């Protein structure tokens, strides 16, 4: 048997077969997406621009590049993450953290009696850069002590001033594409 609700419309009571709520009365509880700001539509990525290189002052260093390199990719990656987290804890501003293209070196061996050489091993060198934009001069010795004490075996650490060629070093050279671009420019 179906129950009918009685509703008061105007002057009398009339039976209705309709529900009072078309949806649940708790509709919308727990939704939070509307609280977030609207995201702008994604644009096509522009070419990567070089950030301004900060000059050193009397009290702080300018832009520094901390270069971590080694043959074991996981050790190099974890050590660069450690340096980045250490900079965050010491309130040293990190401008960028990126990987350089992997360099492959072939180790050649010569046969005992002969002139022929053959490849014995391929060594891959992995490099990561943590670019620091400003470091206090009084904090630098402490930072370097901590970083050097925790340096793993087989990892080479280099700290130097950041230069424009360091920015260009992170991109792979594409001679075929550059040749085609030169041909197109000559025709125009």
Distance of CA 165 to the CA centre of its chain: 20
Q: How many CB atoms lie within 10 A of CB 128?
A: 23
Q: Among positive and negative, which fits the CA dihedral 77, 78, 79, 82?
A: positive
pLDDT (mean) for 26-53: 68
Q: Is residue 96 part of a domain?
A: yes
Residue 151 near residue 157 (C-beta atoms within 8 A): yes
- Whether 123 and 104 have beta carbons less than 8 Å apart is answered as yes
Q: Tokens 């050790």 — which residue?
A: 75
Task: Flag whether 65 is in a domain.
Answer: yes
The alpha-helical segments, DSSP class H, found in 62-139 are 73-89
Q: Pick the more confident residue, 67 or 47.
A: 67
Residue 41's pLDDT is what?
A: 74
Nearest Cα residue to 143 out of 98, 95, 86: 86
In a domain, 177, yes or no: no
Q: Which of the listed ranges 19-23, 53-57, 127-131, 148-152 does the model predict with the highest average pLDDT?
A: 148-152
Q: Which of 60, 51, 48 is nearest to 164 (CA)?
A: 51
Q: Could you tell me if residue 130 is inside a domain?
A: yes
For residue 154, give the nearest of 63, 74, 52 by alpha carbon. 74
Crossing angle between the packed helical segments 140-149 and 73-89, to the nearest 10 degrees: 150
In a domain, 91, yes or no: yes
> Does 2 reside within a domain?
no
Average of per-residue pLDDT across 40-67: 73
User: Mean pLDDT, to the nearest integer, of 77-90?
Assistant: 93
Domain with 164, as residue range(s), is 60-171
Is 19's pLDDT higher than 70?
A: no
Position 47 scores a pLDDT of: 61
Here the CATH number for the domain that contains residue 146 is 3.30.70.600
Q: Can you say whether the dihedral through the CA atoms of 13, 19, 20, 22 is positive or negative?
A: negative
Classify residue 114: in a domain, yes or no: yes
The number of folded domains in the chain is 1
- pLDDT digits over 58-80, tens only? 778 888 889 999 999 999 999 99
Position 115 in a domain: yes
């Amino acid at each position: 048997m179906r129950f009918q609700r009685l509703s008061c419309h105007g002057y009398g009571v009339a039976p209705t077969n309709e529900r009072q709520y078309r949806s649940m009365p708790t509709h919308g509880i727990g939704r939070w997406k509307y609280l977030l700001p609207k995201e702008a539509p994604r644009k096509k990525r522009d070419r990567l621009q070089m950030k301004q290189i900060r000059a050193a002052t009397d009290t702080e260093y300018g832009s520094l590049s901390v270069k971590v390199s080694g043959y074991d990719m996981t050790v190099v990656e974890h050590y660069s993450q450690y340096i980045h987290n250490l900079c965050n804890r010491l309130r040293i501003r990190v401008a960028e953290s990126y990987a350089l293209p992997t360099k492959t070196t072939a180790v050649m061996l010569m046969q005992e009696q002969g002139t022929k050489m053959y490849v014995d091993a391929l060594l891959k060198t992995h490099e990561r850069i943590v670019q620091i934009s400003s470091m206090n001069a009084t904090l630098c010795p402490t930072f370097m002590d901590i970083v050097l004490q925790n340096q793993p075996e087989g990892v080479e650490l280099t700290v130097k001033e950041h230069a424009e060629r360091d920015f260009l070093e992170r991109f792979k050279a594409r001679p075929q594409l550059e040749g085609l671009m030169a041909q197109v420019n000559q025709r125009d």
